[in-house]
Amino acid sequence: MGENKIKVVIADDHKLFRKGMRALLGDFGFVIVTGEAENGIELLELLRVTDVLPDIILLDLRMPLMDGVEAYKEIKKLYPSVKVIVLTMEDDEQYILHLIGEGVNGYLLKNAETAEVETSIRKVTEEGYYYSDAISGLVMKNLKKRKKTETVFNPEFTDRELEVLELICKENSNAEIAKTLNVSIRTVEGYRMKLTEKSGAKNIAGLVVLALKYKWVSL
């Protein structure tokens, strides 16, 4: 039971919020909540002793003892395969941009609609990242401000790598990319790995941000 479900851990210092989020995720049918934590220290201990790591952590930023920002740094260092969606009331522009730059897989405000929470979990699982239209708009606005003063960075991507990158930026899943290019899913995964390595991105979310920033693809 639950073997094929997306395993999620909720980290938030408000017990009622965790309870409500657990109930909401349970309604989706494809998610199973495997743990809860009320601060970063408790979260890291939970990850240390668990037999099976979660697929996704829903992470609040404002928590006692160790906040979400510090916890995220440790998670990415110790458990790089675990994806993190920030779920917070923190809508400060610099906070958001900093965390996206650090490679968080998704960023949701706590007033997000149920459908958006569901979409974010599906997208992060299938494609590695999800940002709402509002967050994407914020990123683009910031990139336009900075592009005049920053040096252009252009890795030597092959034509096929750029093809894959464009499809990634258009939110195609691995399966969709494989079908479009008539290659195997494993081949697509190989291209994704090469793209992140060449770009220096921390993950696919960071790769997309860099692609938009330096206009490596035209959307």
Dump pLDDT digits (tens) for 100-109. 778 889 888 8
Q: Phi first, then psi: what are they for 37, rounded to 5°? A: -145, 150
Average pLDDT of the chain to the nearest whole number: 86
Dump pLDDT digits (tens) for 62-84. 899 999 889 999 999 999 999 99
Task: Tell the burial category of 184 from Cβ atoms under 10 Å away from its Cβ (0-12, 13-18, 19+).
Answer: exposed
Q: How far lies 12's CA from each of 52, 68, 83, 132, 179, in Å? A: 20, 9, 16, 21, 39
| Mean pLDDT value of segment 174-178 | 91
**E strand intervals along 101-204:** 106-109, 130-131
Report the DSSP beta bridge partners of residue 56. 8, 83
Q: What whole-number distance in Å separates Cα of residue 42 and Cα of residue 36?
A: 9
For 136-166, the DSSP string reads HHHHHHHHHHHTTTSPP------HHHHHHHH
Q: What whole-number distance in Å separates Cα of residue 146 and Cα of residue 164?
A: 26
Pairing of strands 6-11, 56-59: parallel
Dump pLDDT digits (tens) for 119-151. 999 999 988 888 877 777 666 666 556 555 555
The model's pTM:
0.73
- Letter for the amino acid at 31? V
| Sequence-ordered list of residues with C-beta below 8 angstroms from that of 64, at least 6 positions apart, any chain | 13, 38, 39
